[in-house]
Amino acid sequence: MDYAGRLKISDRATLVSNLHREADRISEVLKGDKSIGTTLQGIGPSYASKVLRFGLKMGDLRDWDGFVEKYDKFCQIGQVAFGVPEFDRAKELDTFRILHERMMGDDMIIDSVDYMNKAVNDPTKRIIAEGANACMLDIDFGTYPMVTSSNTTIGGVCTGLGVPPHHIESPIGIMKAYTTRVGGGPFPT
């Protein structure tokens, strides 16, 4: 697929590692019948490493040697913080190297704050932001602890994209006539 020049990824986006995926799996196993029913893709542990300030960001991939140092430190801290035994670091680091080469070759990693600021102030541009999961899965307003790891309400446009609230013009809410849910937790009808 030709996405060169069209796909932009924020330098602030948090990377998900196999360490995160393994931490997710271990957490679900330890919770037993109280497990959340996550997708086991490591999203929650990735958010946790972000909040604990040892996570890896897309912007770290710009400098490969610096990334390798950060990755090693990330693994040291993450394995202790999440109780993850050894995993194949070399294989994952090779995957990240390929990602680095692909991203840097196409200049995909951008300063998203600057990018969005220019876009919201350009009268010829229109921005559409799509949210998923709705309020019942919001980390702060949902049916905690059976929630996702992010803010899924309209405020996520501000905190996730860096769009100032006064630039949000036309929020549209969609409600299904039925309820669906991924994972465990309350399932009101």
**pTM of the model as a whole:** 0.87
Domain annotation covers residue 69: yes
pLDDT band of residue 83 (cuts 50, 70, 90) is: very high
Does 118 share its domain with 79? Answer: no
pLDDT band of residue 180 (cuts 50, 70, 90) is: low
Does 139 share its domain with 53? Answer: no
Domain annotation covers residue 15: yes
Averaged pLDDT for residues 159-174: 88
Express each pLDDT in 34-77 by its tens digit: 888 888 999 999 999 999 999 999 999 999 999 999 999 999 99
* Structure tokens given for 64: 């490969």
Whole-angstrom Cα distance, residue 141 to residue 41? 23
Domain annotation covers residue 28: yes
Amino acid at 124: T
What is residue 138's predicted lDDT score, i.e. its pLDDT? 86
Averaged pLDDT for residues 87-104: 93
Whole-angstrom Cα distance, residue 141 to residue 189? 18
Q: Report which listed range, 13-22, 35-44, 169-178, is most confident.
A: 13-22
Express each pLDDT in 117-166 by its tens digit: 999 999 999 988 887 777 888 888 888 888 888 888 888 888 888 899 99
Averaged pLDDT for residues 91-101: 95
177 Cβ contact list (under 8 Å, min separation 6): none
pLDDT over threshold 90, residue 1: no
Domain of 128? 112-164
Does 94 share its domain with 33? Answer: yes
Kindly state the helix (H) or strand (E) to which residue 110 belongs, with its residue range.
strand 109-110
Number of domains in the chain: 2
